[in-house]
Amino acid sequence: MQQRLNSALTRFRDTFAAFTAGQKAVAVIGTAALLLAAFLVFRWVSAPSYAPLYSNLSGEDASAIVDELTAEGVSYELADGGNTIMVPRNDVYSTRVKLQGKGLPGNSGEGGYGLLEGQDLTTSTSQENTNFKRAMEGEVANTLEAMDGVNTAIVHFAMPEKKVFSDEQDPTTASVLIDTNPGTELNEEQVQSMVSLVARSIDSLDPKNVTISDSSGKLLTADTSDGTSGAGIGSTRAKQTALFESQMQGKIQDALDTWVGPGNSTATVTADLDFDKAVTDSLTYSNEKKNPPISQSKSSEEYSGNVGGTDGAGGVVGPDGQMDPSTTANGGGTYKDTKETRDNALDKVVERRESAPGKVNRLTIGVVLDATAAAAIQPEVIKDQIASAAGIDPERGDMIEVDVLPFDKTGAENAAAEIAAAKAADAADRKNAMIRNLAIGGGVMLVVLMAWWQARRRSKARDEATSYVVEQLRLDAANRAPAIESPALAALEAAENDEEDSMRDELIALVEKQPEDVAALLRGWLVEPRK
C-alpha cells in the first residue's frame, strides 16, 4: 500500500514538473480555490442555526446569562445591542430550563403574574387591584411581543372602580404602544389581531375602546360607527369599496377584451355602497281565510205566559228592573235571557330583519371604445350587454355610458418596441455569454489536453529511456559472473517481480539514492566491448 502511494505521489510530482510556469500557476490557483470553496461550504453546513433565547434583557440579566453560558460552554451571539441573546436552535429550550433553575433572568421578569406571588393577608384591596392591573398589563405586553415584527409592547389599562348601586358603569379602556423591528410595518390584519387579543384579555373590555399606536406616534386604530376598530388612515370601508369596484371593473374589462380586443377599450366603475347596519321589526295581521270580525256579542230575552190582571204574570220588581218569576201570581209564565260573546283570532306574523352592510346604493359605469377597433360594433349593443352583466337598475339610479373615441397608441407602440428591443438585447447577451463560456471552456480543455499530451510525451520518453536502461542492465547481468553483486543488479532482480510501474519507480529511486553506482555502470557499458 505504501509502495503504491509513493508511486502515485511520484507520478503526480513528475506530471506537475512537466507543466509550464503558467500551467503550474493555474493548477495551484485552481486547487486553492477548490479547497477554499470546500472549506466555506463545510463551515456553512456545520454552522448551527441560532434562535433567540431571551429578548429585552436588562444589562444585569444579560451579563449574568452570558457568564453562565460561558461557564456551561454553550455558544451564543448577541443581538439588538446586547438586549437579545441567541443560542443554537436545538439548545434553546434545554438552556432556558437550566437558566430558570438558577433564577435567571431575574430583573427582566418583573411584571406579569409574578407580581401576584408576594401577596398575603396584609395586602389591601387597593394594592391588590393595582397589582392585578400591572400583572395583566405585563402578560398582555409579553404576548404582543411574541408576534413577528414586534420588538417592544407597552400596555396600559384603565379599569374604573365598579359601582355597586349604579346601573351605569364606566367602561374599561386600553392603550397600547408598539415598537416594531426596523423595516417592519404592521398591516391591518395584524392590528385587528392585536385589538382582538387585548379586548379578550380583560373582562368587559370593548374592542372599540382599545387604542394602538406605534413608536412614531402614528395611530393604528380608530373608532368607527359600527363599533369595530380598523386601521387609522386606510379605512375599511374605502378598501371594501375599492375591492368591489376593482372586481366589477375586471369582469367588464375581460368582456370588452373579448369583444373588441385587448387594448381597444377602457372601463371605469364607481360604486356607492351602504355600510350602515339596519334592523327592522314588523308585526303583520292577516285575514286570508275571511274570518268573521275579531269580537262578536249577542243577547236575547224571551217571555211567555200572562202579563198583568188576573191572567197575567205579576210579582215584585227586582233591583235590576226585572220581574222576579218567583213572585208571579200565576205560575204559568216563563222568562228566558241569553247572552253570547265570541272572540275570533287573526293570523299574526312578527318579523325581525337585519340587513348586512355592503348594499349597493348606486352604480355608475363608463366605457370608452377605440374608434378604429369598434367601427363595426354598435355602442348600444355593448351598452345593453354590460348593463345585463353588471345588473344595472335604473330605478336605483344606476347609470352606464358607452362612447367611441380614437385612441392614441403611440406610447403603447413605443413601449412594445422598447420591450422587443430589450428582449432582443437580452437574447444577444445570453448568446454572447454562452459563446464566451464555451470559448473559455474550450480554451481550458485545450490547455488541459496540451498539458496532458506534453506530460504523456515526456512520460513516454522517460519510459523509453528507462526501458533502454533496464535492457542494458539485463544484458550486463547476463555477461557478468553470478558471484559479482551490484546494487543495480539487485534492483533489477527485485523489479522483475513487480509490475512495470513499480519497477520504473524503483529504478528512478535507485538513480537518486546511488548515482555513483549507476554512473559507473553506464561508463562500463561505454568502455567494455560487446560480446
pLDDT at 131: 82
pLDDT at 157: 92
Q: Which of 220, 154, 211, 152 is nearest to 185 (CA)?
A: 220
Q: Chunked in runs of 10, what are the mean pLDDT values of the chain (531 residues)?
A: 71 74 79 83 75 76 85 85 82 83 63 63 77 86 85 88 78 91 83 90 89 87 52 62 90 90 89 81 70 74 63 51 51 74 74 79 91 84 89 90 86 82 88 86 81 78 67 63 51 52 67 71 62 48
Instruction: Please count the residues of the chain.
Output: 531
Reading the block at residue 391, the C-alpha cell is 345588473
With a CB cutoff of 8 Å and minimum separation 6, the contacts of 87 are 50, 51, 53, 69, 74, 75, 76, 77, 95
pLDDT at 492: 52
199 and 205 in contact (C-beta within 8 Å)? yes
**What's at 448, amino acid-wise?**
V
With a CB cutoff of 8 Å and minimum separation 6, the contacts of 15 are 455, 459
CA distances from 331 to 148, 301, 303, 314, 337 (A): 107, 19, 13, 9, 18
Reading the block at residue 192, the C-alpha cell is 385587528
Please state, in angstroms and rounded to a whole number, the distance separating the CA atoms of residues 228 and 220.
13
Please state, in angstroms and rounded to a whole number, the distance separating the CA atoms of residues 402 and 260.
13
Query: For 444-478, b where at least 16 C-beta lie within 10 A, e where not — what string?
Result: eeeeeeebeeebeeeeeeeeeebeebbeebeebee
pLDDT at 35: 84
Please state, in angstroms and rounded to a whole number, the distance separating the CA atoms of residues 171 and 173.
6
